[in-house]
Structure 1
Amino acid sequence: MASANRLITDYLDIWSSAVKRKSSAGRGNSKRIELYGIKKLRHLIMELAVRGLLVKQDPEAESASGLVENIKAEKAKLIKEGRIKKEKPAVETDKKDTPFELPNGWIWQRITDVFYPISVSKNKVKTSELSSEGAYPVVDQGQTFIAGYVNDGDLLNTLPGPVIVFGDHTSALKYIDFDFVAGADGVKILRPLCMNEKYFFLVCKTLPIESRGYGRHYSRLIDNFFPLPPLTEQHRIVAKVDALMKICDSLEENSEANITNHKTLVHSLLNTLINAADNSTVNKAWSCIAKNFNTLFTTERSVEQLKQTILQLAVTGRLVPQISSDLPAIDFLRNIETEKSRLVKTGRIKKEKISQQPEFDKELSPIPANWTVTRLKAISTIGTGATPSRDQNDYYFPAIHNWVTSGETALPFIHETKEKISEKAIRETNATVYPAGTLIVAMYGQGKTRGQITELLIPAATNQACAAIQLFEPSPEHRAYIKLFIQKSYEELRSLAEGGAQPNLNIGKLANTLIPIPPLAEQRRIVAKVDELMSMCECLKASLCDLHTIQLQLADAIADKALEKNNGAL
C-alpha cells in the first residue's frame, strides 16, 4: 500500500516540472506561470482525503451513524430555539446517485443536512464604504481574503464558531474563524454541524460546481452529496492534509525560486554575450553558454531570449566574421545613392532634402570598421495605405487586389490576404498596390501587433495601419537583413509610439530609424547564419512544447490513476 508521501516523492519531477503559461501571458515574470503539477497535486490530496484514501480507517472507531444522529439532534435544537427554520423532510439518499464508493463506517449525506446557513440580514457593507485600515475586517465574495475594513461595530457578525464563506457569484470559498462584517452581495455563511469545520471546508473545495459566470452558484453548491466519516477520522484527515499542503508549499517556493533563478541566469549570460567588447569575448561567452545549453534553454521564453540575442549580435557585427576583401558598406550606400538619383531623374521618386549624416555612437552599439550607419529613409521609400469605405460595396467587389491589414503582420510572409479590394478602390482612395518584396510594418493594432513586420510575396495594398517599405537595393539578402533588423528593434519601435488607448507609430519615426549597414557580402553571410540559428531555435521550441505537453499529461494521468478505486487507501 503506497503512502501519500511516496505519491509526492516518487513523482517529484513531474509535479515540479509540469508548468503552464497563463493565457494572459506575454513577456513577464514567474507570476505568469502556473505551477500546474503542484496545483494538480494539491487537488489530488484533497480528493484522496474526502474519499477515505488518505489515512487508514480505524476498525475500532464508531461508524458515522452516531455523528448523523448528533447532527439531527443539534438541528432540532436550533429549530426549537428559532435560530434556523424547519426544513422540508429530506429525500432519502439513493446510493446510485453518489459519486464514488465510501469506506466502511462512512455515510453519504445531503450537504444541506450537515450545515446551517447564517443570515447576514442587514449587516452588510458596500465596497465603496471600505477602507484599507479599520477596527473590523470585511469578508466578501471576492477572491481576496479580506476585502477591507470598517469601524462600525453594529455591522459585525458574531460567529458561534468557524464558518465557511461561499461567494454566490464567484464560487470563492473561505475558511473564517473570526468575527467579521459581510460584503454587500453574494455572501453565503455556512456553519458546519457537529464536525471538524476544516474537514467541511475541505469537502466543499472538492465539490463540482458548474460555472455560471457571474450568475448564482449557491444552488449548485447545495445540490451535492457530502462524504461523512467518523469525527475522529475527520481530525486525522485534516492533520494529514495540513502536513501534505506544507510539503506542497515548500515545492511551490522551490519551483518559483528555480524559475526566477533560471531567468536571472539566462538574462545574465545572454547580456554578457551582447555586451562583449570584441569577438574574442563573444566566443568565450558563447562557449560558456554552449556548455550549459541544455540547462539554460528549457523554456519557450528562454528560447525567445536566445533568438533576440542572435538578432542583436547579427546587427552589431558579432555573429559572423568580417572579411577584409568585402566591399565596404559605404560603397554599398554609394551604389544606392546612384540608384536613387536615377529614380529621381525618371520621376519615380521625389528628390529628398539633404540630411545631416547620422551620429552613430549616440544611438547604436559599436560596429565594425567596414560597416556604416544610415536612416531607413535613405535606403527606401516608405508609404502607407487606406481602408476603403465599407459602405461602398463596389470598393470590395469585384475583389481583385490583395489587401493587407495590420493583424496579418504576425505572419513572416504574406502569400494571400484575408480580404481583397476592387480596382475602383485603388483609383479613388489612398490605397496603393505594392510589389512583392515590400516589407510591411504594423503602425498600430491590438496587443502585440504594433511593430511587427512581414514581407509581401504577392502584390498587395494595405490599410492605413501599415507602413510599406520598398528598398532601393533589390537583393533578397539585403531585404532579409533589413527585416531582421526591424525584428530585433521590435521593442524599441513600440516604445516610439504615441497616443492614448491605442498608441501609434508614424511614418516619420520609422523613416528616421538608424540602421547599421554591413557590406552586402556580409549581409548575405549574416542572413544565412540567422536562418540556420533560427531554424534550430524553432526546432528547440517545438521539442520543449511537446515535452511540456507530455509533462502536463503525466501529471493528469498520475492523479487520475491515484484516484482509481483499486488503489486502496494511502
Structure 2
Amino acid sequence: MQLLKHFASLTLHPKNAQELKDLILQLAVQGKLTANWRKENPDIENASILLERIQVKKAKLIREKKIPKEKPFPKIDTITVRYTLPKKWIWCNLGESIVLFSGRDLTPNEYSDSELKYPYLTGASQIKKDNIILSRWTNIPKVISILGDVLVSVKGTIGKTVINKIGEIHIARQIMALRTYDWIEIKFLKLFADSYLSQLQDASNGIIPGISREHLLYAEFPLPPIEEQKEIVRVVEILFKEIEQLDQLTVERIALKNDYVSSALQQLTTQNSQKEWQSLQPHFKDFFTEKSTIKKLRETVLQLAVQGKLTADWRTKNKDFDPASELLKRIQKEKAQLIKDKKVKKESPLPAITKEEIPYELPEGWVWCRFGDLITFLNGYAFKSSTYVPTSDYQIIRLGNVKDDNFLINTKEAYVPSSVGEVNLDYQIFKDDILTTLTGTKNRRDYCFTCLVKPEHLEQKVLLLNQRVGCIRVIDKSASELINKFLKSDIILNQLFETETGTANQGNIGSTAFKNLVFPLPPLEEQKAIVEKVNALVGLCDALEQEVAQSKGYSEQLMQSVLREVFNKK
C-alpha cells in the first residue's frame, strides 16, 4: 500500500513508530488495509450473517444461564457514524458481538504473593506489551477471565490490552475481560480495542481516571466478515513488524551517534582539544541531529570555555596582556574600597584555596580565586503576597521570572505599592546583575538558573528582588557576561550542588556556596575572546536545534500528508 513507501522517512524520530501503529490500527478497523483482498475474494459471507449467528449463540448461553441477560442495545445510526464501511461489513454495538466481564477486587486476606491456584491480575502495571506479569495469586474459585479473553485496563492507566494466554485468572475491578466464545477472531478484537481505547482518553472520569462498562458495550464496532478479520490481523502484524524493525534501526542509529558524540566531546574536554575540535566540526550537521546531542555540545562548549580550551589559539596570537592575577588584585582593591565607603557590607574572610580543591591546571595567565573575591551577593526580601497590587512602578522578581539565560520580565508579574517599594530599594536590581534561582526539586538540578539583567529590562519598572532569588553583583561589570556563562558550566554547578541542603523534596543553594566557589579567572582581554567564541558556538547550537525542529516538522507534515492520502482516497 502507499503507506509503506513512507515508512523509512516516518520512523526517523522514535515517537513516530507509535504514531504509525496507531494510524495502522485506524486504517485496519476501517477496512482500508484489505481493499485489494476484498477484490480478490468477492464471495465471502456477509458480516450481517455472522452477527445473526452470534446473536443466536448468545441467546442460547443466556437461556443456559452461562452469561447474564443483557439490556437491549441502541440501534446505530449509520448516517452519523464517522466513516463508511466496506461492503459486507456491518456496524453494531461491541456488546452485541462479545460478552463483557468486570473484575472484582479481593481483600488482602484473599490473595498472596506466594503462588496459589489462580493468578490474580490487579491492574495495568502487570500488563507488559503482550505478556501478563504475575505477582499475586488466590485460591478464590470465582474465576473471571479464561483463556482467549482480551483483558483491558479501565481504571488508572486506561487502554492497556493483552490476550489471556495463561488460562483461568482472577481480575481486579481495574480490569475488564472481553470474551468472544470463538465468534470473532480474537486478535482482531484486540486490534479494535487498541484503536478504540487510544481515542477514548477524554472519556475517562473521576478522581482516578476510568471508563465504564457502557463505554465498551456501546462502542460503535465495525464488524468485518470472519475471513477478512483474519486477513486484517495478518496485514497488521506484517506492518507492525516492519515498523518495529525500522524503529530499531532508528534507535541503533541514534545510539551510535550518541556514542560517537559522547566520545568526541569527552576527548575535547580531557585532551588537546584543537585537533579533536577540527575533526569534529565538519560532522556537526551529521552527528548533532538530536536534542540530546546538541545539549551535550552546549555543555561541552561551556566546559571548554571554563578550562580555557576555546581560546588556546587566541593566546598563541596575543602574548602581551596582563595576567589575571593583576586583575584579581585590582578587583579586590576595588571591593575593599566599596566596603570602606559602606557601599557594600563587610564580609567574613574567605578560606584559602587548598590544592585538593583545584580540579585542573589552568592556562598560562589565568588564576584560581574564590568567587566571593569577584562579587557581592544579595539575597531577596520576603515580600508578602498580601501587599501585592495589580500594577505599580515596583515589580517583584520571583523564581518564575528567572529561567536559564532568560529573564521573563513580562510573565509571572507581581507588584507592590510605592509605600512598600520605596522602603525596600536595598533590594533593587540593576544592569549587569546576574540573577539566580536558589530553590528547586532536590537532587534534580532543575534550578540554579542564571540570567543577566540588561538595560531593556529596566526601562519601565523598578525591579525588586524576592526571597529565594539571588543577585550576583560583579565588582568589575565588564566581566558580568563571562561570569554568567561560566556559572552554567558543570564544573561550577557541580561545586554548588555538592552544598545542596533542604528538605526531602526541596533543595536549596545558599549565598555561602556561591562565595566559596573555586573559580577560574581569565585575563580581562581573554574574557572578551571567550565570550565571543561561546556566543558563536551557542549560535551554532541554536541553528542546529532549529534544523532538528524543522526536520521534526517535516516528519509531522509527511505524517499528515500520508493521513490525507489514505483517508481521502476513494
TM-score range normalised by the length of the shorter chain: 0.7 to 0.9
Are the equivalent residues in 1 in contact too, given 2:379–2:467 (CA < 8 A)? yes
* Alpha carbons of structure 1 residues 562 and 118: separation in structure 2 relative to 1, 3 Å: same
CA–CA distance in structure 2, aligned partners of residues 437 and 481 of structure 1? 11
Residue 482 (structure 2) aligns with: 481
TM-score by length of 2: 0.86
Amino acid at match of 2:188: Y
Alpha-carbon shift at residue 398 of structure 1 (Å): 7.8
Residue 240 (structure 1) aligns with: 235
Q: Which runs of 5+ in 2 are unaligned?
A: none
Q: Deviations over 1:281-329 (max 9, x none)?
A: 3121012211221121102222221111111111111112212201110
Aligned residues, how many?
A: 535
CA–CA distance in structure 1, aligned partners of residues 259 and 224 of structure 2? 49
* Alpha carbons of structure 1 residues 16 and 441: separation in structure 2 relative to 1, 3 Å: same
Alpha-carbon shift at residue 344 of structure 1 (Å): 2.9
Aligned counterpart in structure 1 of residue 78 of structure 2, from 88, 92, 95: 95
Residue 475 (structure 2) aligns with: 472
Matched, 1:7 2:3: yes
Amino acid at match of 1:290: Q
CA–CA distance in structure 1, aligned partners of residues 15 and 9 of structure 2? 10
Residue 22 (structure 1) aligns with: none
Amino acid at match of 2:135: Y
Answer with 551-560 or 434-443: which moved more.
551-560
* Alpha carbons of structure 1 residues 563 and 454: separation in structure 2 relative to 1, 3 Å: same
Amino acid at match of 1:270: L
Residue 307 (structure 2) aligns with: 316
Residue 221 (structure 1) aligns with: 216
CA–CA distance in structure 2, aligned partners of residues 450 and 91 of structure 1? 56
CA–CA distance in structure 1, aligned partners of residues 540 and 482 of structure 2? 19
Q: What's the Cα RMSD here?
A: 2.7
* Alpha carbons of structure 1 residues 483 and 528: separation in structure 2 relative to 1, 3 Å: same
Matched, 1:542 2:556: no
Residue 230 (structure 1) aligns with: 225
Answer with 70-79 or 99-108: which moved more.
99-108
Aligned counterpart in structure 2 of residue 556 of structure 1, from 544, 549, 560: 560
Aligned counterpart in structure 2 of residue 53 of structure 1, from 32, 36, 41: 32
Matched, 1:460 2:463: yes
CA–CA distance in structure 2, aligned partners of residues 253 and 451 of structure 1? 37
* Alpha carbons of structure 1 residues 82 and 368: separation in structure 2 relative to 1, 3 Å: same
Matched, 1:111 2:111: no
Answer with 70-79 or 219-228: which moved more.
219-228
Residue 512 (structure 2) aligns with: 508
Residue 115 (structure 2) aligns with: 134
Aligned counterpart in structure 2 of residue 408 of structure 1, from 373, 382, 401: 401
CA–CA distance in structure 2, aligned partners of residues 180 and 437 of structure 1? 71
Aligned counterpart in structure 2 of residue 188 of structure 1, from 152, 176, 190: 176
Classify the secondary structure of the residue corresponding to 1:370: coil
Are the equivalent residues in 1 in contact too, given 2:500–2:508 (CA < 8 A)? yes
Aligned counterpart in structure 2 of residue 307 of structure 1, from 298, 310, 316: 298
CA–CA distance in structure 2, aligned partners of residues 343 and 109 of structure 1? 84
Q: Which runs of 5+ in 1 are unaligned?
A: 20-34
Residue 31 (structure 1) aligns with: none
CA–CA distance in structure 2, aligned partners of residues 346 and 552 of structure 1? 62
Are the equivalent residues in 1 in contact too, given 2:91–2:220 (CA < 8 A)? yes
Aligned counterpart in structure 1 of residue 524 of structure 2, from 513, 520, 523: 520
Alpha-carbon shift at residue 423 of structure 1 (Å): 4.7
CA–CA distance in structure 1, aligned partners of residues 10 and 296 of structure 2? 26
Amino acid at match of 2:477: P
Classify the secondary structure of the residue corresponding to 2:353: coil
Are the equivalent residues in 2 in contact too, given 1:409–1:449 (CA < 8 A)? no
CA–CA distance in structure 2, aligned partners of residues 225 and 396 of structure 1? 54
Residue 291 (structure 1) aligns with: 282
Q: Deviations over 1:326-356 (max 9, x none)?
A: 1110011111122123223322234545545
CA–CA distance in structure 1, aligned partners of residues 109 and 555 of structure 2? 45
Residue identity over aligned pairs, in percent, reads 23
TM-score by length of 1: 0.86
Matched, 1:157 2:159: no
* Alpha carbons of structure 1 residues 363 and 460: separation in structure 2 relative to 1, 3 Å: farther
Alpha-carbon shift at residue 370 of structure 1 (Å): 0.8
* Alpha carbons of structure 1 residues 195 and 36: separation in structure 2 relative to 1, 3 Å: same
Are the equivalent residues in 1 in contact too, given 2:357–2:518 (CA < 8 A)? no
Answer with 406-415 or 306-315: which moved more.
406-415
Alpha-carbon shift at residue 244 of structure 1 (Å): 2.3
Answer with 69-78 or 403-412: which moved more.
403-412
Matched, 1:64 2:52: no
* Alpha carbons of structure 1 residues 557 and 510: separation in structure 2 relative to 1, 3 Å: same
* Alpha carbons of structure 1 residues 51 and 390: separation in structure 2 relative to 1, 3 Å: closer
* Alpha carbons of structure 1 residues 270 and 41: separation in structure 2 relative to 1, 3 Å: same
Aligned counterparts, 1:343-492, within 5 A:
343-359=338-354, 362-391=357-386, 393=387, 399-410=392-403, 412=405, 414=407, 416=409, 418-425=413-420, 432-445=427-440, 450-457=447-454, 458=458, 460-475=463-478, 478-489=479-490, 491-492=493-494
* Alpha carbons of structure 1 residues 155 and 62: separation in structure 2 relative to 1, 3 Å: same
Are the equivalent residues in 2 in contact too, given 1:406–1:442 (CA < 8 A)? yes
Are the equivalent residues in 2 in contact too, given 1:402–1:460 (CA < 8 A)? yes
Residue 177 (structure 1) aligns with: 165
Amino acid at match of 1:332: L
Classify the secondary structure of the residue corresponding to 2:357: helix
Residue 337 (structure 1) aligns with: 332
CA–CA distance in structure 2, aligned partners of residues 560 and 76 of structure 1? 43
Amino acid at match of 2:136: V
